[in-house]
Amino acid sequence: MIAAKERTKAAAGAADPMRPELYRVQRSRRESSDTFTLELTPPRGYKPTPFQPGQFNMLYMPGVGECAISISGDPADDGVLLHTTRVVGTVTRALNGCKAGSRVGIRGPYGAPWPVAEAEGNDVVFVAGGIGLAPLRPAIFHVLAHRRQYGRIVLLYGARTPEDILFKPMLRKWSSRLDMDVYVTVDRAEAGWRGNVGVVTNLIKRAPFDRLNTTAFICGPEIMMHYTVLEILGRGVNEKGIYVSLERNMKCATGFCGHCQMGPFFVCKDGPVFRYDKVKRWMEIREL
């Protein structure tokens, strides 16, 4: 027991993990009709904790609230913080209204990252559905920056329509590389689209990778990840080589608020990236 008379420092003195830093919006860039990227710079004198691919921050809009958003930038670039998000609720709508000079509260980074170091020596397959490309992008940056450490690099990306395809200039650049395979598909084509049409799982059958030495990183809607995993398992990849990134309601990101629980896990600190064999059982239960 702590002695009753011992004076302890008040909370005001201790670091509160719920307290954000006010970042400055340098630029807001439109990615598609409902998706945008914020480029943020930290306040003067504040040294941000470097992030790892797959981690997320809590973004706070004064007067509106907070939400968890993955980091979409290059982990090697510590000058500017990138968040790509879709407008889906009150906070993301307010974030979408940010202009250069606006302030956004940031706390983080949080969560378990994509295990890029463990994937070294393997072929790496990225499977992204919609906005799921954003949390995968830092991992893609990483493997390309350490290209010699990896075997084949494959990106399979599914968007709703050609207009919804994110990071188009970057995808063109990656497509033109001779040491990376990029396949894009859309659910619904439009006039002028000459690419693939259909769900992203269709791309897995012909994707070039060595089933015995492959690490797969998957991010998208849960139903898309479910079928993607089945296809990849069908190609003979071990389930211990498959990783998924899950999304749940989060209020704190520090394991206190309880909202993000999924079976024995707190998605905020045990995830959001999980090795598939560890969450398989829980992903299969409805309304868990």
Partner 1 sequence: MTRIKDIATAYLPAEGLQALIDTLRQHHDRVLGPRVREQAIRYETISSVADLPRGVKDEHEGGRYRLHQGEEATFFGFVVGPDSLKSIVYPPRLTLWSMKRSGHEGTIEDQDEPVGSTAILGVRPCELAALAVQDKVFLGHGFEDPHYRQRRERLFLVAVECLQPGAHCFCDSMGTGPGVNGGASWDLALTELVGDGRHGFLVRAGSDAGREMMAKLPLEQAGDGLEKARETALAAAAKSMGRTLDTDGLKKTLYDHVDHPHWEKVADRCLACANCTMVCPTCFCSNTMEETALDGSSAARTRVWDSCFNLDFTYIHGGHVRRSVKSRYRQWMTHKLASWQDQFGVIGCVGCGRCITWCPVGIDITREAAVLQGKPTKTSGRTTS
User: CA–CA separation, 46 vs 56, rounded Å?
Assistant: 18
Q: How far is the CB of 32 from partner 1 (least distance, A)?
A: 16
Build a one-symbol-per-residue string for 252-271: x at contacts with partner 1 by CB under 8 A, - elsewhere.
Answer: x-xxxxxx-x-xx-x--x--
Span between the terminal Cα atoms of the chain, in Å: 38
Q: How far is the CB of 165 from partner 1 (least distance, A)?
A: 20
Strand-pairing partners, residue 38, are 28, 83
Q: How far is the CB of 67 from partner 1 (least distance, A)?
A: 9
Kindly determine how many residues on this chain lie close enough to bind partner 1 according to the rule CB under 8 A.
52
Residue 223 within binding range of partner 1, rule CB under 8 A: no
Residue 226 within binding range of partner 1, rule CB under 8 A: no
The two tokens of residue 232 are 């990849």
Residue 274 within binding range of partner 1, rule CB under 8 A: no
Residue 286 within binding range of partner 1, rule CB under 8 A: yes
Residue 6 within binding range of partner 1, rule CB under 8 A: yes
Residue 3 within binding range of partner 1, rule CB under 8 A: yes
> Biggest alpha carbon distance in the chain?
76
Residue 9 within binding range of partner 1, rule CB under 8 A: yes
What 3-state DSSP class applies to 151? coil
Sign of CA dihedral 142, 146, 147, 149: negative
In the list 31, 39, 74, 247, the residue contacting partner 1 (rule: CB under 8 A) is 247
DSSP string, 222-251: HHHHHHHHHHHHHTT--GGGEEEE-----S
User: CA–CA separation, 241 vs 60, rounded Å?
Assistant: 35
Cβ atoms within 10 A of the Cβ of 155, count? 24
Q: Given the rule CB under 8 A, which residues bind partner 1?
A: 1-6, 8-12, 14-20, 22, 24, 62-66, 86, 88-89, 101-103, 105, 247-249, 251-252, 254-259, 261, 263-264, 266, 269, 285-288
